[in-house]
């Protein structure tokens, strides 16, 4: 099941969020070498892990975290607008119905697992439930055909560029019923990935203050 953690319920999900930050350290610091975001040798955090961030976290019944990602309002200063504006042709998209999607991370043992599939479905299901048009993101160019293979509709926002020996590109993930159906069919997850109680807690939540 996917848990949605935001400003209004962080105390309730504090342990789950703590485990997500620890997983991010394992993946982004230890695996990928992002040492500048290390916090006390335990967590991986940056300036956008604040009260405006929303976290979608995949966990089992015991609270063991398999993975998750972060969403952030594009109407606020965010990673694409502040760190990578050169990746977009023209102004960085900044709209209330667009969120930025970052820090997608899945534990090694959970990659290609049911919880991984649930996270992919959650991108579309959450967006539709919240009335979003899509998500902006900065990704490796090699990920585009993989994500398209899962059924995602992805539009580049600029030309690919080299960054620290990698080729990255700013993209827009479109949200639609058709896209959700394609992703569901590809990963064979046709139920809601959110529990009923979770859906009631997150419905309409859009924190827009830093």
pLDDT at 61: 85
Helices (H), the chain: 14-24, 79-82, 114-129, 143-149, 177-187, 196-202
Q: List the structure tokens of 24.
A: 């991010």
- DSSP for 7-65 reads GGGTTTTHHHHHHHHHHHIIIIIIIT--GGGEETTTEE--TT-STT-EEEEEE-TT--E
Round the CA-based radius of gyration of the chain to a whole number and report it: 16
Cα distances from 81 to residues 71, 87, 139, 158, in angstroms, run 14, 9, 15, 13
Give per-residue pLDDT as tens, 144-202: 999 999 999 999 999 999 988 889 999 999 999 999 999 999 999 999 999 765 544 44
pTM: 0.91
Full set of structural domains in the chain with CATH: 2-202 (3.40.630.30)
Give per-residue pLDDT as tens, 71-92: 999 999 999 999 999 999 999 9
Give per-residue pLDDT as tens, 121-136: 999 999 999 999 999 9
């Amino acid at each position: 099941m996917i848990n949605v953690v935001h400003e209004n319920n962080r105390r309730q999900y504090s342990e789950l969020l703590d485990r997500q930050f620890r997983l991010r350290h394992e993946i982004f610091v230890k695996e990928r070498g992002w040492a500048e975001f290390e916090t006390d040798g335990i967590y991986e955090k940056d300036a956008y892990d604040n009260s405006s961030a929303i976290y979608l976290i995949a966990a089992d019944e015991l609270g063991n975290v398999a993975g998750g990602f972060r969403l952030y309002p594009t109407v606020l200063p965010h990673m694409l607008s502040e760190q990578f504006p050169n990746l977009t042709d023209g102004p960085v998209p900044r709209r209330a119905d667009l969120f930025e999607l970052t820090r997608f991370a899945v534990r090694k043992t959970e990659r290609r697992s049911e919880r991984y599939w649930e996270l992919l479905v959650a991108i579309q299901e959450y967006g539709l439930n919240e009335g979003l048009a899509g998500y902006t993101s900065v990704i490796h160019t090699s990920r585009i055909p993989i994500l398209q293979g899962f059924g995602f509709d992805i539009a580049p926002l600029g030309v690919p560029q080299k960054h620290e020996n990698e080729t990255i590109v700013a993209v827009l993930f479109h949200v639609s019923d058709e896209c959700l159906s394609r992703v569901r069919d590809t990963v064979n997850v046709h139920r809601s990935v959110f529990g009923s109680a979770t859906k009631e807690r997150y419905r309409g939540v859009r924190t827009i203050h830093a």
